[in-house]
Structures are given as structure tokens and as C-alpha cells.
Amino acid sequence: MLIMNKIKLKGGLEISRIVCGHWRLAEWNLITQELARLTEQTIELGVTTFDHADIYGNYSCERLFGNALQLNTRLRKQLQIVTKCGIKLATDKFPERKLKVYDYSYNHIVTSVENSLKNLNTDYIDLLLLHRPAPFFDPEEVARAFADLKKTGKVLHFGVSNFTSMQFSMLDAHVDEPLVTNQVEISPYCLEHFENRNMDFFLKEGIKPMAWSPLAGGSIFNPKDEKGHRVLQALKVVAKEKGTSPDAIAYAWLLNHPTRIIPITGTSKLDRMKTAVNALAVQLDLEHWYSIYNASTGQQLP
């Protein structure tokens, strides 16, 4: 079994090189004992970091995971919890809400963390992310919330998700400690953060990004358009040369990038998790990497 080393983010936070994402945890239909066992098996693979958000599963996923942790209290010291806040959904859980909004007020950030701590059955969160950038945003108020949460030990580190380089820099200039990461969508199909120069910014600032939807939500392997077919074909060609599977190559394409991208899986299948872990051993040369990149853009380099 491949021994997976942790990766160190800014601020000294160490997380696993592959992260287990729980966006669809509620859809896995696992009883608490099954989820606890799956968590143990995931940790045994070296995947010790688990990604959440308060809103996942219509505000249910954190509690499901917290219940599983309660069955084996030793697990908490073996893992790192990432969660997010800031999105307020208008759902049956909050009938008083008439509209979905992004709320980064001091009170909402602090209250969200307190709810997450309760749901996750823990007294601290390793990494809190702001879920999405907002057009109504006061960085000084966010910084005050972060400072108080850090002082009380409720949150150890802070970051953002889906922010542009300018939005990241704007908030980073106001907080006491550097933001440690930006969780964005990156896959062989989704090149948005190459195109908007976020990847250049990550390299400049030494930020190791977390990549959600690293397999494009599975659409890479069930392509719906010409671009998807091109990417899948390129992955298959490289996979054949490397003697592995196309999904392993998709993960390797991310893992080989100099920014040291951290993929977030979204699966309850242990075999698929093993594929992501084993991709750490797959080395791609430049022609392999660019053959996939070019398939995604639909053209050769200029």
C-alpha cells in the first residue's frame, strides 16, 4: 500500500494529499455504523482530511458525520475537519427565509461555526472556509470573526472557496493570519482557474489549492459534449501508456501540477478512493500533461 505523506499549507496546517469530500454524504444512505467504518477505512488509506459545509445535504451532512465520530471518539485525533459557511439557503429548515443570500456578518460566521461544532461533535474545526465570494462583503467584519474564533480555539485555520485572486488578496490583507488555501473547481474538463490566472496567483503566493469536482462530477467518463469526448479520449490514451485507468490519470494530472493541487474526492466507494491514492505514484511527463490540457481547450499551444 502506498504510504501517503501529508501536505503542509500556509500557517503550518497539515492535511492529507487527497481529501474525502462529503458533499453528497446524505445521498450515500449509510447507517451511522457503516459511515464510522468507512471513515476508519479511509483513514487507513492515509486520507485523513474530510471536507464539509454547513449547507451540505440541506444542512444534514455535518450531523451525519458527527454521529459517526461519536461512535469512535478516537477518530477525531486522527483526522482534520474542513467546513464552510456563508451561504444561507431558503429551505424548509428555515421557513422564515424568503431568498438565498450570502451572509458574512460577524454574527452569522460565529453562529455557523458554533452550529458546525455541535453537529460535528467536536470542540474545534481545523479549517474554516468562506464558501463563495459575495457582492456584499465587509472584510473587517470577517477578520473580526476570524480573530475571535481563533482566540477561543474554535477554529485553527482559515481559508476561502471559489475566490478570485483579487478577492483572496483583499481578504488576506485584513486578517491577522494568512489565508491557508482556496478551494476551487479544477479538473481536466474545467480549466477556469488556468484561464482566470488564479493558478498563476497560487504559484506566486505559495498557495496550495484544493480542487473540488476533480473528475468533473463524473461527467468526464460520461461525456455530454465534444469537449468531454476529447478529454476522455486523451485520458484513455495516457492511461494505456501508463498501464492504469483514466480516472487515475485524471487525478495524476492534478497531482503532478506545480501548485500541488489537493483533489477532493466525492465517493463512498473505497475502491475509487484507492484509485485516487494510487494516482500519487503516477508520474506524467510534459507531453502527457499537455495532451490532456490541449484536449480540454480543443487546440494546440500557440
Instruction: Report the CATH number at residue 19.
Output: 3.20.20.100
CA atoms within 13 A on the CB side of 92: 3
Q: Which residue in the list 56, 104, 189, 251 is annotated as catalytic? A: 56
pLDDT of amino acid 5: 85
Query: What pLDDT is attached to residue 4?
Result: 79
The answer to whether the CB of 265 falls within 8 A of the CB of 34 is no
For residue 1, what pLDDT is reported?
A: 53
Q: What is the 3-state secondary structure (H, E, C) of 130-141?
A: ECCCCCCCCHHH
Q: Which of 171, 91, 189, 92 is nearest to 132 (CA)?
A: 171
Splitting the chain (302 residues) into consecutive groups of 10 residues, what average pLDDT does each group show? 82 97 97 97 97 98 98 95 98 95 98 98 98 98 98 98 98 97 98 98 98 95 95 98 98 98 97 97 97 98 96
Is the CA virtual torsion 221, 226, 227, 229 positive or negative? Answer: positive
What is the domain count for the chain? Answer: 1
Say if 298 falls within a structural domain: no
Q: What is the pLDDT of residue 112?
A: 98
* 105 found inside a domain: yes
Element (DSSP H or E) covering residue 160: strand 155-161
Would you say residue 250 lies in a domain?
no
Domain that holds residue 166: 12-180
pTM > 0.85? yes
* 233 is a domain residue: no
Instruction: Specify if 280 maps to a domain.
Output: no
28 domain residue, yes or no: yes
Task: Decide if 200 is inside a domain.
Answer: no
Q: Is 56 a catalytic residue?
A: yes
Residue 212 lies in a domain: no
